Amino acid sequence: MNILVFLGSTRQSQPPKPPRLGSRVAAALVAHFRESYPDDEIELIDPLDYDLGDVFKPHFAYASGRAPEPLDALADRIREAGAYVMVSPEYNHSLSPALAHLLNHFGSSLYAYKPSLIVTYSAGQWGGVRAAVGMRTFLSELGCLPVSAMVHVPHAAEVLDDEGRYRARLSRRNPDRLDSAPLRERS
């Protein structure tokens, strides 16, 4: 199966620190999926890799064969994917405008009936949970089938390093000892 991981941030300024905090979360997810599903193709879709132009013109508004090649290629990847992972920070209690802008370039027929996982993150304690609530409705309107479980990553800059690897943290049970177990293995 092909799984597309959509990074929902184009921010290169601060706050938060670091500015591309989402790239850490996306890298951790890509690594996790590649390790867990070695036979599947996992691809990161970063909106900074696509020039969507200054004027909004979705892929489906172009005549057949007239869409810009990068937009056409991404439409093909979305069509061929079996599942999606949407990674978003929280902006004003909502999903990232960069993610919405990227996803809105493609019609619902490309996303139809495919599962989508919602992953949110923040530099603070809530991990973007309020953004996740709105994302479920947004993704449903695109035709996706958001799965009931969601992933929230609070304090993402403290939990993940620049490459998306889990950092060793002080053990909650014994503050004088480092706990290097991945978060999913902790109780």
DSSP conformation letters of 131-160: HHHHHHHHHHHHT-EEEEEEEEETTHHHHB
- DSSP 8-state code for residue 167: P
Residue 23 Cα distances to 18, 126, 147, angstroms: 10, 18, 22
Query: Number of folded domains in the chain?
Result: 1
Longest CA pairwise span in the chain (Å):
64
* Sequence-ordered list of residues with C-beta below 8 angstroms from that of 120, at least 6 positions apart, any chain: 87, 88, 89, 90, 127, 128, 129, 131, 132, 135, 150, 151, 152, 153
Domain span at residue 30 reads 2-185
- Per-residue pLDDT in tens (0 to 9) along the chain, 187 residues: 999 999 998 887 776 677 789 999 999 999 999 999 999 999 999 999 998 887 899 999 999 989 999 999 999 999 999 999 999 999 888 999 999 999 999 999 999 999 999 999 998 899 999 999 999 999 999 999 999 999 999 999 999 999 999 887 655 555 555 455 544 444 4
CATH of the domain at 17: 3.40.50.360
Q: Taking the model in full, what pTM does it have?
A: 0.86
